[in-house]
Amino acid sequence: MERMNIFSEFYKGKKVLVTGHTGFKGTWLCKILTMLGADVIGYSLESPTAEGVGFCRIAQIEEKITSIIGDIRDYKHLKKVFDEHQPEIVLHLAAQPLVLESYKDPVGTYSTNVMGTVNILECVRNTSCVKSFLNVTTDKVYENKEYIWEYRETEPLDGFDPYSNSKSCSELVTHCYKNSYFKDEKVAISTARAGNVIGGGDFAENRIIPDCIRAAYKNQEIIVRNPYSIRPYQHVLEPLYVYLMIAKAQYENIEFAGYYNVGPDECDCVTTGDLVEIFCKEWGNGQAWKNVCSKGPHEAQFLKLDCSKLKTVFGWKPRWHIDGAVAKTVEWAKVYKNNGNISACMESQIKEFCGVEK
């Protein structure tokens, strides 16, 4: 209960701009912010599901926020939004987030993830309303040498594939702007490097849990192309809570601004095969999977984050472990399959995560 109360006192009435608000993370984040009483402005492309209905729409978000459809690469339009709405807090989630898609369209990936970051930071620089800015990147920004130890915020940035590298560049752009334009400390600037997230509402192609759900809906065997890669899986609410925590803390005290890893505990860094096995057990109905290793584009086999900085600075620790995260994802997927109340399901999960009694 304390988690929700602290945030409600701070975010109620605050003008918060969320880029990428129609996406998977963005929709969940807007749902939380509306529950907290924030004045939310969303800026994003349309984000259709496989069924042609946007997650933001089925979560009943659009009627509760100012939803603006726009391209993060369109500086003039973005600047107009800043001028008209005067956001105090900016949470930058808009991105091309898929590794395989980045191989198909590297130009689009770089233009969105790099120049999109430049554009939003230009808007922050050329307005006086913003006090807190957070750029959400990824654990894949690091030069991954397949180490057995975890990566810390001081490790070199050099993502391998176009997606990962573009997010490394987005980090560097943020560092440059912070050093070049915000030394007066009028705006607190941070980045958050989050690991792989799972949860209801992710309809993306070539992501393991959405692939599992699609197969389960059709009563088909799940095809797993890379079951041995280790990833730091966490429920989507884990990093979102951290984003709100960082944005609030640095708004109130700029000394909290910095670069933070956001990931699960060691026990939740599992292979893709283990994750699918957990999913099958949770889904039930004899759901099964098949190991079909492909020789597709390079993807890192081993990647973990050291989150000791986040834990030390904020006293933070993950709330849901991998079994619980998968269970909540399956719960959402079954509500969706049965045409249930998605908005109510999300609100229930958010309240449970925050310790609010039902």
pLDDT over 90 at 106, yes or no: yes
pLDDT in tens, 289-316: 999 876 555 555 567 889 999 999 999 9
pLDDT at 327: 98
pLDDT tier for residue 1 given thresholds of 50, 70 and 90: very low
pLDDT in tens, 199-252: 999 988 888 999 999 999 999 999 998 888 888 899 999 999 999 999 999 999
For residue 330, the SS3 value is: helix
**Mean pLDDT confidence for 5-16:** 90
Closest CA to 238 of 210, 273, 197: 197
- Burial class from Cβ neighbours inside 10 Å (0-12, 13-18, 19+) for residue 295 reads exposed
Domain with residue 77: its CATH number is 3.40.50.720
**Mean pLDDT confidence for 320-348:** 96
Let me know if residue 325 belongs to a domain.
yes
pLDDT over 70 at 49, yes or no: no
Let me know if residue 320 belongs to a domain.
yes
pLDDT over 90 at 184, yes or no: no
Let me know if residue 358 belongs to a domain.
no
**Mean pLDDT confidence for 39-65:** 82
What the block records as the tokens of 204 is: 């993306």
Provide the number of structural domains found in the chain.
Answer: 1
pLDDT over 60 at 148, yes or no: yes
pLDDT at 144: 82
Q: Which residue has the higher pLDDT, 172 or 293?
A: 172
Q: From the CB of residue 251, how many other CB atoms can be counted at a distance below 10 Å?
A: 21
Distances (CA, A) of 327 to 117, 323, 353: 34, 6, 13
pLDDT at 235: 97
Residue with tokens 């081993």: 302
Residue with tokens 């109905």: 285
DSSP 221: P
pLDDT over 80 at 326, yes or no: yes
Report the mean per-residue pLDDT for the chain: 91
pLDDT over 90 at 147, yes or no: no
pLDDT over 90 at 322, yes or no: yes
Residue 56 near residue 47, CB atoms below 8 Å: yes
pLDDT over 90 at 51, yes or no: no
pLDDT at 145: 81
Let me know if residue 291 belongs to a domain.
yes
Let me know if residue 173 belongs to a domain.
yes
pLDDT at 193: 96
Q: Which residue has the higher pLDDT, 297 or 343?
A: 343
Q: What percentage of the chain carries pLDDT values higher than 90?
A: 76
Residue with tokens 């009483």: 37
Let me know if residue 94 belongs to a domain.
yes
pLDDT over 80 at 141, yes or no: yes
Let me know if residue 185 belongs to a domain.
yes
Residue 224's DSSP bridge partners are 291
Q: From the CB of residue 132, how many other CB atoms can be counted at a distance below 10 Å?
A: 26
Which contiguous run of DSSP H or E holds residue 99?
helix 99-104
Non-local (6+) Cβ contacts of 234 within 8 A are 194, 195, 196, 197, 198, 263, 264, 268, 318, 320, 322, 325
DSSP E strands, 116-271: 132-136, 188-194, 197-198, 222-224, 230-232, 234-235, 259-262, 269-271
Let me know if residue 47 belongs to a domain.
yes
| Domain span including residue 275 | 2-353
Separation of alpha carbons 340 and 337, rounded Å: 8
**Mean pLDDT confidence for 276-287:** 96
Closest CA to 23 of 238, 327, 318, 236: 236
Non-local (6+) Cβ contacts of 8 within 8 A are 36, 37
Q: From the CB of residue 336, how many other CB atoms can be counted at a distance below 10 Å?
A: 20
- Range of weakest confidence among 51-60, 77-86, 145-154, 285-294: 51-60
pLDDT tier for residue 54 given thresholds of 50, 70 and 90: confident
